[in-house]
Amino acid sequence: MGKKNNNTIEERFLKNLFSFIKENTNKEDKFVLAISGGSDSMVLLDLFKTFSEKYPIQFCVANIDHRIRKESSEEQQWLKKYCEERKIPFYAETVDIKEMKRNLGAKTSLEELAREERQKKLKKIKNDYNAQWVITAHQQDDLLETFFLRLIRGTGLNGINTLNSVDGFYLRPLLVYSKEEIMVYSEEKDLFYFKDQTNDDTRFQRNKIRHHLIPYFTKEFGREVKEVLVRDLENLKNADRALSELIDQDLQKAKFSPNSCEINQKHLRHKSLSYLRELLIRMYQKWHSSPKGLTKKKVDDICLKLLEKGDFEITISHAIRFLRSNDMVGFDKNKAYLQKSKKQKILLGEDFKKELEKKNVITLDIDFFVQGKSLRFQLLSFENDVAFKQILGNKDTYLDYEKIEFPLILRFWNEGDRIKPLGMKNFKRVSRLMTDARIKKYAKRKQLIMENGKHDIIWCMGLRISEDYKITSSTVRYLKVVYLDSNNNDLEGRER
């Protein structure tokens, strides 16, 4: 090829890069280029180097040495020198993936572990450089390899919708080019690059796809089959985006917290099984940040159970379960976590008492226990509220303030808890009180208890106050406590 052809391909690449940067970023944005030293990434680096000679742009180079190959440390030093000579900021990170793999055993593959660690390091470099974007050199063949890899391992639509040109803070401007086009650019510019011998190791599934599956398709169906597959993949991605818009409407009705995600069953009525499956997968993935653990069989089991009546529980993994309790369905942490949670509590001591007596009203956020909930404490006397009427103690409760000993303690219900319910002479197990109130066993774990400094349970929140702390004719001041719900609903998981 002559010089004219060389200028043509370089100009075409630069023109596309200019349009891509202009469309997706701001003028003052900074970029981290993930450069391995291979052919694709050296083309990316050359493009940005040439681009920066024509337009003002700030970028650095990041290289992650995984210690998988003996040559990798030398390659990193070469790349460092290359950048220093051209006054390009260079960031180097090293992580011993094989050693990490040995420590983790069979929990994850070498490829997956390398990818996860690489992403962590790139995010760190992005923050250190104060950049807005990380740019990788993925091209069309990478896209097809990932597509086939996920199909073989098993995936849904949202699993196929990956390696997009804009994905969070990742940019992939070379996705519009095939490997052949990348190599033509590299040869015409006479770029130096390292050849990674592990890319030829067909013990790795991706390499099997690269060296066997895709060549088979091109041999049997023609070279244009790759363009057809890329087009079909884009159609599948568009279908996923359309489905996401529908599912997101339901996900907005779900409640997400670090410990659980749940949605009212009424939002799932009249939905097809296909829709339910996809909703459950995406709900789980949004909460857990990964689809790991949620197998097709688990999803099918959940969907079949949802068609039946009654509460149920299905173990997803050692750490997670799916359950239905009353009208709420969703995922949460396992019982071992819940036992740990029961040890947690909120202590309202003398400082709280002084503040209450000074201000008369304090609102306390208890999102620590139940998402979106709070308690309002109000100190009153009969002169302030002549219309007082003793109530059982569901959402609003009234307690004789002079009988209360601080600190007040808010905690989860424990087995063996007892209270003398309002209107009764004898103590009663809180578990029995909840059963009488038709609270299902899966919802009992959410029951909050208020006890005082003598460790007397003075209020089973949402159920009943203690007979010993009720208002009497001799009461001078009383404490009004209101259980506030941001959604103006009753306590979670209750049948009324």
For the domain that residue 19 is a member of, what is the CATH number? 3.40.50.620
pTM equals 0.63
What tokens does 254 get? 């779900």
Percent of the chain residues topping a pLDDT of 90: 51
Q: Which of 323, 339, 355 is the last residue of a domain?
A: 339
Q: Say yes or no: 22 and 160 in one domain.
A: yes
Residues 262 and 255: beta-carbon distance below 8 Å: yes
Alpha carbons 423 and 371: distance in angstroms, whole number: 32
Alpha carbons 59 and 143: distance in angstroms, whole number: 25
Residue 258 has pLDDT above 90, yes or no: no
Q: What is the largest CA-CA distance in the chain?
A: 104
Q: Say yes or no: 23 and 162 in one domain.
A: yes
What's the rounded mean pLDDT across residues 458-464? 89
Percent of the chain residues topping a pLDDT of 70: 90
What pLDDT shows up at residue 487? 43
Q: Say yes or no: 369 and 347 in one domain.
A: yes
The reply to whether 232 falls in a domain is no
The reply to whether 259 falls in a domain is yes
What pLDDT shows up at residue 107? 60
Q: Say yes or no: 442 and 366 in one domain.
A: yes
Q: What phi and psi values does residue 361 have, to the nearest 5 degrees?
A: -135, 130
Parent domain of 361: 342-485
The pairing of strands 133-135 and 58-65 is: unpaired
Distant-in-sequence, close-in-space partners of 380: CB < 8 Å, separation ≥ 6: 360, 477, 478, 479, 480
Q: Which of 199, 221, 243 is the last residue of a domain?
A: 221
Q: Say yes or no: 335 and 352 in one domain.
A: no
Alpha carbons 329 and 438: distance in angstroms, whole number: 17
Q: Say yes or no: 103 and 183 in one domain.
A: yes
Provide the b/e sequence for 156-191 (b: ≥16 CB within 10 Å).
Answer: bbbbbbbbebeeeebbbbbbebbbebbbbbbebbee
Residue 23 has pLDDT above 70, yes or no: yes
Q: Say yes or no: 264 and 397 in one domain.
A: no
Residues 466 and 424: beta-carbon distance below 8 Å: no
What's the rounded mean pLDDT across residues 94-119? 81
Q: Say yes or no: 115 and 185 in one domain.
A: yes
The reply to whether 45 falls in a domain is yes
What pLDDT shows up at residue 132? 96
Q: Say yes or no: 210 and 273 in one domain.
A: no
Residue 399: closest CA among 483, 471, 476, 484: 471
pLDDT band, residue 181 (cuts 50/70/90): very high
Total structural domains in the chain? 3
The reply to whether 202 falls in a domain is yes
Distant-in-sequence, close-in-space partners of 411: CB < 8 Å, separation ≥ 6: 342, 344, 345, 346, 448, 449, 451
What's the rounded mean pLDDT across residues 489-496? 29
Q: What is the pLDDT of residues 77-101, one digit of tens each?
A: 999 999 999 999 999 999 998 888 7
The reply to whether 349 falls in a domain is yes
The torsion defined by the Cα of 219, 222, 224 and 227, in degrees rounded to 10, comes to: -50
Q: Say yes or no: 14 and 116 in one domain.
A: yes
Read off the CATH number of the domain in which 275 is found.
3.30.465
Residues 479 and 401: beta-carbon distance below 8 Å: yes
What's the rounded mean pLDDT across residues 352-377? 82
Angle at 414 between CA 413 and CA 417, to 5 degrees: 90
Alpha carbons 80 and 64: distance in angstroms, whole number: 12
Asked which of 35-39, 211-215, 432-436 is least confident by mean pLDDT, the reply is: 432-436
The reply to whether 258 falls in a domain is yes
The reply to whether 229 falls in a domain is no
The reply to whether 378 falls in a domain is yes
pLDDT mean across residues, the chain: 86
- The residue behind tokens 């998981």 is 493
Alpha carbons 218 and 447: distance in angstroms, whole number: 62
The torsion defined by the Cα of 110, 111, 114 and 116, in degrees rounded to 10, comes to: -110
Q: Which of 307, 339, 371 is the last residue of a domain?
A: 339
Q: Say yes or no: 202 and 299 in one domain.
A: no
pLDDT band, residue 65 (cuts 50/70/90): very high
Q: Say yes or no: 215 and 109 in one domain.
A: yes
